[in-house]
Amino acid sequence: MWEFLQHMSYWDWLALGVILLILEVFGAGGYLLWIGMAAAAVGVLTFILPQMPWELQFLLFGLFAIATALYWWQRQRSAVRQSDQPHLNLRGQELIGKVFLVHEAIVDGRGKIKVADSVWLAKGPESPVGTRVKVVGQEGAVLQVEQAD
């Protein structure tokens, strides 16, 4: 094994890079992609400079792997940005502050309100059908309402 590591050719580095890229397909989150690219880069350098000592090859692989992993980490952090639609896919949150009609009377704190073409469960004060209520909060699929002015 030691003998193999001391005499790695560019094919070995390229094969390592391909293996890491294949493993990336199974869901490593991008990190094996960049480490595989580091192995491929060392393979290319070993092809260009075939007399490169094995110690330098492993040192370059380590440096490239760390540099590319840090690059990926930094890129992932900078990719997080604030949405211009923060309530997208949080439909109940976008309803807060809006006024709707009671669809099914709110009795014992429970009832239903009509929101566009759907009906939502509502929690709030006793209200007969047709009463205007304002959404003030959300607990899962249940909207918290209060009497509208």
Mean pLDDT throughout 45-49? 90
Q: Is the pLDDT of residue 4 over 60?
A: no
Q: Is the pLDDT of residue 2 over 70?
A: no
Three-state secondary-structure class, residue 84 = coil
Q: Is the pLDDT of residue 84 over 80?
A: no
Find the DSSP H helices in 26-53. Answer: 31-48
Domain range annotation of the chain:
2-79, 91-147
Q: Is the pLDDT of residue 104 over 90?
A: yes
Mean pLDDT throughout 140-146? 91
Q: Which CATH class is domain 91-147?
A: mainly beta
Q: For residues 31 and 17, which has the higher predicted lDDT (pLDDT)?
A: 17
Check if the beta carbon of residue 68 is closer than 8 Å to that of residue 24.
Answer: no
Mean pLDDT throughout 63-74? 88
Query: 19 CB contacts (<8 Å, ≥6 apart)?
Result: 36
